Amino acid sequence: MTRTEPPLPRWQSLAFPFHKWTWLAVFMGIIVSGPLLFLLARASDRCGGERRNLQDVSYSWYYTFGLHFCEAHASLPRSTSTQVFVQFLWLYTMILTIIYSANLKSFLLVKKQPAMMETFQDLYESGLEMGALGKLFRDGFAKSSDPYIKGLAKVYRYYDNIEKIFPVVEDGRSVYLGNCITMEYLIKNRFTKRGVSRFRRMKEKFGTFTVGHALQRHSPLKKKYDQVLGWLVQGGLVRKFVVDAFRLDSSLEKYGSDDDGSDSGQVTAADGVIPLSLDHMQGVLVIACFGWFCSAVSFVLEKYTFSD
């Protein structure tokens, strides 16, 4: 069991629609398309003439930069080669912006969780402490053939009281190793509020343990008991009994029903439509502030340059 990491900041939502390599390809396209248009315009000028402004590298880059944001230009190319180039650039940027806009709506409305630890390799590389009750599991870690599990034996720390583990786990300095059903019970009935839990379980498990029923040695009932217990496990009744026990111990709302009264920080309208708040639009405000800052710096530099 480890703590649930908070969602990523809203202002990062503008970058989520594309993978990092896709963003790199888009930026390379913006950088390269300007000089390519400039070279075509200069070469076409010798074959019949092209607009003078397109033969300036700064204007050609500014021209293609605007096309990436679906900004139309009054100056249309004259030569065939530059017209073909601009037409396909229009098609490329149109598809790119439509895909980005469609995905952006989803990421603005839904908070994205950061990458979390799910395997023992992730846990080993994180360097976090492994906390557990007693020394039972430490020997199993040390004898494991898996190098990552074996490495966790070095950061294993045992506690005599489970209440001492929870604060350390919540601070992000440790993880708790224990029975899955016990952890699930604690997460849903003790550490979940309004549908949001402070802790979660990792996907990978250290080992599988069974629950048995004690009988007298050499009892003739053992064979029948094995058969009936097998039916219970295979039919999913054991899991059902666990879920029923959770529901009996806590209210249905606290257990995590669909109607838990949680709005997850969303402001909803009467018809169920979620209006975009300032929290959703953090990324847009960051871009605006960044643009104002860059323009102010440019103004100061221009003022300083012309003053000399």
**169-184: per-residue pLDDT in tens?**
888 888 888 888 778 8
The CA distance from 274 to 276, in Å, is: 6
> How buried is residue 67: exposed, middle or buried, by Cβ count under 10 Å (0-12/13-18/19+)?
buried
Kindly state the greatest CA–CA separation across the chain: 104
Q: Read off the pLDDT of each residue in 238-258 and give the average, rounded to a whole number.
A: 65
Two structure tokens written together for 272: 């169920």
Residue 151 pLDDT level (bands cut at 50, 70, 90):
confident
pLDDT for res 273:
65
Residue 259 pLDDT level (bands cut at 50, 70, 90):
very low
Residue 305 pLDDT level (bands cut at 50, 70, 90):
confident
Q: Say if residue 267's pLDDT is above 80.
A: no
Q: Which CATH class is domain 17-109?
A: mainly alpha
Strands (E) across the chain are located at: 2-3, 129-133, 156-159, 174-177, 192-193, 196-197, 199-200
Q: Which CATH class is domain 120-209+221-255?
A: alpha beta
Amino acid identity at 132: A
pLDDT for res 217:
87
Contact between 108 and 280 (Cβ < 8 Å): yes
The CA distance from 119 to 189, in Å, is: 25
Q: Are strands 196-197 and 199-200 parallel, antiparallel or unpaired?
A: unpaired
**54-105: per-residue pLDDT in tens?**
788 888 888 888 888 877 677 778 777 788 888 888 888 888 888 888 888 7
pLDDT for res 250:
63
List the domain boundaries for the chain.
17-109, 120-209+221-255
Q: Say if residue 21's pLDDT is above 60.
A: yes
Share the mean pLDDT of the chain.
79
- Angle (CA) 206 135 202, round 5°: 25
Amino acid identity at 11: W
**202-227: per-residue pLDDT in tens?**
888 877 766 677 888 888 888 888 88
The CA distance from 184 to 181, in Å, is: 5
